[in-house]
DNA sequence: AGGGTTCGTTAAACCGGTTTATTGATTTTC
DNA sequence: GAAAATCAATAAACCGGTTTAACGAACCCT
């Protein structure tokens, strides 16, 4: 590949001039500009991205970081990614998906700064080691999801109000008459699982329900499929706790597992079992049988807001920490209804 | 951020030595190594990625390129992305999503080489300008999808056998007794649309059907939602051509649009209308009502194979062009059946 | 006509690493 | 015990750009 020196030589100017022609950071006469551009075209020259980044101390790349040992993007991540990409697109940034195994990063020979101007961290966990690491460098970060308390005032983040949201939807189910729940939650080490558990517990306690009337199951391993977790856990729990009339699922894929479990057990939805999901899918969930009732998290908007916040921080106000709460919408379709009380028996 | 010079000074060695400690490309005595590492830790030093890339002429980054004006990843792209990411993960590569608007790239001040060691091009089109551009540089590329003929022997690519596959599934529908089709195809400028149309036409001609017995609709705009295209086109076509008994949809999301159109028209699936889809979703499609019959494209494997091919090309055999065909599987569920002939009338 | 600006261009330093050629010390070999 | 080979470390050149300081020519003003 031709270098800037080749072009300088070919067009009879200094490399500084060629640089200015391409960066437009300093005026160059029209005549010279044309000569340089012609020579560049002739030689098929393009400025080298790395050299430029090195000198500029900027890459116009932002990173999207998922926990190293978790490689698969979910449905939710897809919407999120689309939101982030939209902002990147609008501002001429590229997006680097950063998912190196920690075994790789910890080796001396692979140690390096991240090649980005800023980074979005997905799925924060309690005491997430990624945060401390970034905080000591000078790459701005924005989390999607709440950081654990020790970082709460030291980073920007975008999140739903998971506590309030979960409390509200639990109240909705309580309002329908449900008194015994299975809550299929996110993996325990994720902060979002805490928040949702808190909201759920606040609502059931407020209603005066005893701990025996609800089961909270945490997805053990982020790598195993949500569908399977939903299926197996529901199967097991409904067998050991046949009084359960409503299941709250962490994702719509998980909810699908619940549907399958209900089928296996011969339970009709929503007649004998109500299913509620935290979801973001506007295409598939309405087509479930029955159409899924749930709450939209607006993943795409989460992504958009996070990217916007990050760019703000990159281009100026570094060191200020903002928090953006994205509202959620409950979408009532047909998978939740009043429970048939098959214990008391005095219902129409 | 501390630089290599700071570390060299702090530990009383030359920068070359520090470099060797971190790159492990040359033996350094244990004693010196420890001293350098200690100083690095003290100063919170990490090698600068860009400087390293510049000197090494390699970033361990591969690019994923979608057409500039098409920013949203589909369901299909998600699986594909997961496949690519898996390979990246295994080999310590990062993935750069490259989706800059062409308006951006064409400005002199933004011109630059792509900051990657190699690139995967998605959704190739006829006479795709991205290919020519890459071919003149020295960044290896792999396409997912067939390039148009002029490039066919000059690039590596991974694809399904779309011609054969479509011919086969059309034969399947013909075998069930269908004689009037609606084929909802991909956007016309994409090479995949050609292949599928060819396979479809081969099958219907082979069966001796006249052109009046099938309609091929191309999705006009890649940016508009597949669901809407499926819904609206099916609605329109079935009204103007009520004889149609089978619809072949390009994606499962599109098929969902067909389902909705059937509902609007009061047609039962598969009783009055059979629906077939090119799909990749193993989670949702079985849960449609009725479960969707289709052909699995194995997007994740397409991604995996493409990434593997690309890494092969990066680490050695550049200049050799390979083609990988990923097999497809027909999955027969319940959305296709014999048509009820409501024209002839002499059927049980 | 002479002093002060403005403007376009250049040479050289710089960004932060890697690498090559060289050196000096230590070990091996006969 | 001297020559050869091995080894660790260094100084300087290099990767391919950007930027600063300096400079000469053209323009402006009185």
Report the distance separating Cα B179 and Cα B177, nearest Å: 6
What secondary structure letter does DSSP report for A269? T
Establish if B256 touches chain A: CB-CB under 8 angstroms: yes
Per-chain mean pLDDT for chain A: 91
Q: Which residue of B has its CA nearest to A46?
A: B112
Higher-confidence position of A106 and A267: A267
> So what's the pLDDT on residue B343?
47
Where does the pLDDT of residue A224 fall: very low under 50, low under 70, confident under 90, or very high at 90 and above? Answer: confident
**Region B77-95 average pLDDT:** 93
Domains A61-159+298-327 and A162-293 share a fold: yes
Report the distance separating Cα B124 and Cα B199, nearest Å: 18
Where does the pLDDT of residue A320 fall: very low under 50, low under 70, confident under 90, or very high at 90 and above? Answer: confident
What secondary structure letter does DSSP report for A288? S
Average the pLDDT over each of B58-67, B68-77, B304-313 and give the range with the smallest value.
Answer: B68-77
What secondary structure letter does DSSP report for A125? B
**Region A157-166 average pLDDT:** 97
> So what's the pLDDT on residue A342?
53
- B chain contacts of residue A89, beta-carbon cutoff 8 Å: 71, 99-101
For an interface test with B, give the residue of A91, A283, A333 to mutate (most B CBs within 10 A): A283
What are B5-57's pLDDT values in tens digits? Answer: 999 999 999 999 999 999 998 889 999 999 999 999 999 999 999 999 999 99
Shortest-distance nucleotide from B52 CA to C1': C17
What secondary structure letter does DSSP report for B292? P
**CATH class for the domain made up of B61-159+298-327:** alpha beta
Question: Which residues have a Cβ under 8 Å from the Cβ of B68 and sit 6 or more positions away?
Answer: B99, B100, B101, B102, B105
What secondary structure letter does DSSP report for B190? B
Q: Edge to edge, what strands does the sheet with A181-185 contain?
A: A214-218, A181-185, A246-249, A274-279, A293-296, A329-331
In the predicted structure, residue B96 carries a pLDDT above the cut 70: yes
| d(CA A10, C1' D25) / Å | 24
Report the distance separating Cα B280 and Cα B284, nearest Å: 10
Report the distance separating Cα A77 and Cα A96, nearest Å: 15
Looking only at the bridges linking them, the beta strands covering A293-296 and A156-160 are: unpaired
How many residues are present in chain B?
Answer: 348
**Region B69-85 average pLDDT:** 87
Neighbours of B271 (CB within 10 A): 13
> Which superfamily is assigned to B162-293 in CATH?
Response regulator (3.40.50.2300)
Place of tokens 């005095």: A346
> So what's the pLDDT on residue A151?
94
Full-model pTM: 0.92
As separate numbers, helices (DSSP H) first and strands (DSSP E) second, chain A gives: 12, 12
| d(CA A115, C1' C16) / Å | 13
In the predicted structure, residue A298 carries a pLDDT above the cut 70: yes
Say yes or no: Cβ of A45 under 7 A from any atom of strand D: yes
As separate numbers, helices (DSSP H) first and strands (DSSP E) second, chain B gives: 12, 12
Where does the pLDDT of residue B121 fall: very low under 50, low under 70, confident under 90, or very high at 90 and above? Answer: very high
- Report which of A7, A4, A142, A6 is spatially closest to residue A80, judged by C-alpha positions: A142
Residues of chain B above pLDDT 70, percent: 96
Q: Do A97 and B85 touch (CB under 8 A)?
A: yes
In the predicted structure, residue B346 carries a pLDDT above the cut 60: no
**Region B99-115 average pLDDT:** 84
H or E segment and range at residue B63: strand B61-65
Task: Enumerate long-range contacts of A126-134, CB under 8 Å, 24 or more apart.
Answer: A126/A189, A126/A190, A126/A191, A126/A194, A130/A65, A130/A67, A131/A155
> So what's the pLDDT on residue B98?
85
Grouping H, G, I as helix, E, B as strand and the rest as coil, residue A219 is: coil
Q: Which of A46, A71, A253 sits opposite B85 (nearest CB)?
A: A71
In the predicted structure, residue A318 carries a pLDDT above the cut 80: no
Higher-confidence position of A13 and B100: A13
**Region A278-303 average pLDDT:** 89
Q: Which residue of B has its CA nearest to A61?
A: B96
Token output for A196: 């949702």
How many residues are present in chain A?
Answer: 348
Quick one: which residue's CA is nearest to D8's C1'?
B28
Establish if B46 touches chain A: CB-CB under 8 angstroms: yes
Burial class (CB in 10 A: 0-12, 13-18, 19+), B5: exposed
- Report which of B228, B222, B192, B219 is spatially closest to residue B328, judged by C-alpha positions: B192
Report the distance separating Cα A3 and Cα B293, nearest Å: 55
Domain over B4-55 is classified CATH 1.10.260.40: yes
**Over the Cα atoms of chain B, what is R_g?**
26
Q: Can you give the residue ranges of every domain in chain A?
A: 4-55, 61-159+298-327, 162-293
> So what's the pLDDT on residue B280?
80
How far is residue B189 from each of residues B78, B221, B222, measured CA to CA in Å? 22, 10, 10
What are B231-275's pLDDT values in tens digits? Answer: 999 999 999 999 999 999 999 999 999 999 999 999 999 999 999
What are B284-311's pLDDT values in tens digits? Answer: 888 888 999 999 999 999 999 999 999 9
**Region A213-232 average pLDDT:** 91
User: Which bases in strand D are touched by protein, i.e. have an atom under 7 Å from a CB?
Assistant: 7-12, 14-20
Q: Do B88 and A75 touch (CB under 8 A)?
A: no
Q: Edge to edge, what strands does the sheet with B94-98 contain?
A: A323-326, A156-160, A141-144, A118-122, A61-65, A94-98, B94-98, B61-65, B118-122, B141-144, B156-160, B323-326
Shortest-distance nucleotide from A31 CA to C1': C8
Higher-confidence position of B144 and A345: B144
For residue B69, the Cα-to-chain-centroid distance in whole angstroms is 16
């Amino acid at each position: 590949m031709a270098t800037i020196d080749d072009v300088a030589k070919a067009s009879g100017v200094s490399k500084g001039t060629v640089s200015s022609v391409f960066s437009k950071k300093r005026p160059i006469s029209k005549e010279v500009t044309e000569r340089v551009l012609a020579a560049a075209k002739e030689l098929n020259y393009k400025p080298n991205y790395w050299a430029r980044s090195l000198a500029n101390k900027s890459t116009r790349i932002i990173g999207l970081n998922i926990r190293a040992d978790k490689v698969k993007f979910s449905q939710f991540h897809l919407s999120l990614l689309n939101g982030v990409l939209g902002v990147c697109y609008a501002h001429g940034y590229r997006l680097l998906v950063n998912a190196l195994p920690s075994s790789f990063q910890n080796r001396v020979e692979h140690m390096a700064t991240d090649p980005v101007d800023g980074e979005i961290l997905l799925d924060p966990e309690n005491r997430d080691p990624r945060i401390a690491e970034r905080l000591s460098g000078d790459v701005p970060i924005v989390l999607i999801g709440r950081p654990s308390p020790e970082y709460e005032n030291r980073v920007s983040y975008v999140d739903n109000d998971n506590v309030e949201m979960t409390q509200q939807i639990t109240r909705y189910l309580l309002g329908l008459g449900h008194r015994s729940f299975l809550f299929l939650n996110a993996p325990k080490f994720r902060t979002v699982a805490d928040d949702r558990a808190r909201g759920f517990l606040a609502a059931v306690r407020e209603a005066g329900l005893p701990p025996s009337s609800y089961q909270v199951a945490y997805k053990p391993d982020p790598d195993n499929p949500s569908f399977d977790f939903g299926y197996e856990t529901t199967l097991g729990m409904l067998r050991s706790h046949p009084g359960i009339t409503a299941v709250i699922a962490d994702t719509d894929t998980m909810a699908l597992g619940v549907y399958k479990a209900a089928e296996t057990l011969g339970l009709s939805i929503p007649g004998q079992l109500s299913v509620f999901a935290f979801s973001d899918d506007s295409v598939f969930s309405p087509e479930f049988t029955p159409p899924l009732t749930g709450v939209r998290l607006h993943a795409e908007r989460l992504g958009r807001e996070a990217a916007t916040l990050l760019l703000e921080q990159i281009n100026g106000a570094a060191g200020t920490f903002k928090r953006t709460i994205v509202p959620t919408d409950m979408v009532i379709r047909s998978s939740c209804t009043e429970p048939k009380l098959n214990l008391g028996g005095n219902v129409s």
